[in-house]
Amino acid sequence: MENRFDEFQIGDSLFRYSAFVPRFYNLCKSYGFKSGQIMPSRAFCSDENQGFPIILIAKHFGTFPFNHGMVGGIVATDRHGPHAHHGQDLVIIQASHVGYDPDSQTFGSYKRLQTQTLEHTACCGKIGAVMDWYTKEYAYARQNIRYTLADGRAAILIDNLYLEPDRGQGLFLRLNKLIAPGPSGGADNRLSRPIGQLSTATLFPMHTELEEKLPPAHRDRSLSIDRDLTPDLFYFKRDISDTLEGRDQLEKNLARQMPRIVTSPHPFLSAAIANTRIEFERSFRTLLQAPGYRGRNLVFISGINIDISPREGQLFPLTKFIPWAAYVQTGKNRSFIMEQTELTDALKNMSPKNPDKIELSKAIQEMENRPEMQVVLKDVP
C-alpha cells in the first residue's frame, strides 16, 4: 500500500478538539443518529495526553467512550463485536498522535507535567521506539557514503557494508542509481567496476543522473552524501512479526514508508500520518465483515491528534485534530466514504454548539448527592 504524505492536508483541516467533537457529534446526528443511543469508541494510544480528547468525547456524546485502541493508535478489530453490543448507533474515532512544541515549532516531543523537571519526551513514544532503529541506520549511511573525485571525474565512495547483498536486515542501497552502469550501458544491469579500494569502503564512478542532481558546491570536493540520500536511493529490510495486531503491528504499518519517514523534515508527523492512513483502510475492511455492525448506524473516522505541549498554568494540552477520512453507514443500507476535503467541509458546516452535551462536574455532583446504594450479596442455596 503506497502512501503519499503530500496528499494529507494540514493547514486547512486543523480543528481544536473542543470544536471538533461537537461538530462531529452534530454530523453523526445528521445521519439519523439519536441522542442518548450513541456509543462512541476511541482507538487512541494509551498516552496520558490522550485523556483530554476522551473527556470531550464523554461530554458531547453523553457517555464514556468504549476502548477500541492499542498503543500507537492501532485499532483492536477484535473489539468490534463488543462495541456493537453496547449501543444502538455506533461511532469509532481512530487517531495516531504526535507531540508539538510551540516554542521550537517542532513535532515529536511533549512536555510531561508530572515529571520533576517538566521533561520533553518522545510523543508518540511507541512511534519513536519503532523509528529508532531505522533512524540510526539512515544516519550511519548518510555519513558513510561519500562524494569524491577520481582522476577529475565524479565518484562515489560506498561503505563495504552496503555491498553485501546477503545481509538479513538493514539499510540497502539501490546501487544502480548511485553507481554508473557498466560498459554495456547497463542493459544487463551490470554496474561499473570499482576504481579504487579502501580498507572499509569501495570507490565507484558516480551515476550521471545522481551527479546532475548535485549542487555545484558538491561537485569538486569530498563530503558525505548526507541529506542527498533521498528515499528513492535506498530501502530497509527488517524481521517483523506477521501476527495480526501483535506487538509489531505499528512497525508493519510503517516499515514500507520508512525511507519517506526518516528523510522527512518532520519524521514523527510523517509516521503518524502513515499509520493513520493505513489503519483507516485496514479497519474499514474489517468493519465491512463485522456482523455486529450490519444494519446499524455507524461512523468510523480517522485522523491525527496533535498534542501541543501545555504552557504554564495549563492542565491539559491544547489538542488539535486533523481528519483524514470517514466511513459512514446508515441503517437504510446506505454507505459511503468521505475523503479528507469533503469530510473537513462537512465538519465546518456543522454547528460547534451541542445542546445535548452534559456538564461533567454537575453529573458527578448529582451522583455524589444520591442516597447510598447498598450492594447485597444474596446467599446461594
pLDDT digits (tens, 9 = 90+) for 14-57: 999 999 999 999 999 999 999 999 999 999 999 999 999 999 99
Pair 145, 224: CB distance under 8 Å: yes
Confidence at residue 21, expressed as pLDDT on a 0 to 100 scale: 98
Residue 323: strand pairing partners: 303
- Contact call for residues 21 and 329 (beta carbons, < 8 A): no
Amino acid (1-letter code) at residue 173? L
For residue 2, what pLDDT is reported? 40
Q: Which stretch of 139-143, 214-218, 283-287 has the lowest confidence by average pLDDT?
A: 214-218
Bridge partners for 121 per DSSP: 110
pLDDT tier at 58, thresholds 50, 70, 90: very high
When pLDDT is averaged across residues 227-242 and rounded to a whole number, the result is 95
One-letter-per-residue 3-state SS of the chain: CCCCHHHCCCHHHCEEHHHHHHHHHHHHHHCCCCCCCEEEEEECCCCHHHHHHHHHHHHHHCCCCEECEECCCEECHHHHHHHHCCCCEEEEEEEEEEEEECCCCEECEEECCCCCCCCEEECCHHHHHHHHHHHHHHHHHHHHEEEEEECCEEEEEEEHHHHCCCCCCEEEECHHHCECECCCCCCCCCECCCCEECCCEEEEEECHHHHHHCCHHHCCCCEECHHHCCHHHEEEECCCCCCCCCCCHHHHHHHCCHHHHHCCCCHHHHHHHHHHHHHHHHHHHHHHHCHHHCCCEEEEEEEEEEEECCCCCCCCCCCEEEEEEEEEEECCCEEEEECHHHHHHHHHCCCCCCCCCCCHHHHHHHHHHCCCCCCCCCCCC
Q: Is the pLDDT of residue 114 over 90?
A: no
Which one has a higher pLDDT value, 194 or 185? 194
Least confident of 29-33, 320-324, 358-362: 358-362
Query: What is the CA 373 to chain-centroid distance, rounded?
Result: 45
Cell readout for 41 is 469508541
Domain boundaries, the chain: 5-108+266-369, 134-237
Local confidence band at 348 (pLDDT 50, 70, 90 cut-offs): very high
- Which pLDDT does position 185 carry in this prediction? 54
How much is the pLDDT for 3? 42
Task: Give residues with Cβ within 8 angstroms of 335, minimum separation 6.
Answer: 327, 328, 329
Percent of all residues in the chain with a pLDDT value above 70, rounded to a whole number: 95
First to last CA, the chain: 60
pLDDT value of position 9: 85
- Section 174-189 average pLDDT: 79
How does pLDDT run across 272-294, given as a tens digit for each residue?
Answer: 999 999 999 999 999 999 999 99
In this predicted structure, the answer to whether residue 153 has a pLDDT above a threshold of 90 is no
The confidence score (pLDDT) of residue 116 equals: 86
Output the pLDDT for position 4: 47
Could you tell me which residues come within 8 angstroms of residue 367 by beta carbon, excluding any fewer than 6 positions away? none
Segment 196-207 mean pLDDT: 94
| pLDDT(219) > 80 | no
Do 38 and 91 touch, CB atoms closer than 8 A?
A: yes
Phi and psi, residue 118, nearest 5°: 55, 55
Query: CA 319, CA 312: separation in Å to the nearest integer?
Result: 16
Question: Across residues 85-107, what is the average pLDDT?
Answer: 95
Instruction: Look at residues 82, 96, 98, 94 and name the one whose alpha carbon lies nearest to residue 39.
Output: 82
Backbone angles phi, psi at 46, to 5 degrees: -85, 0
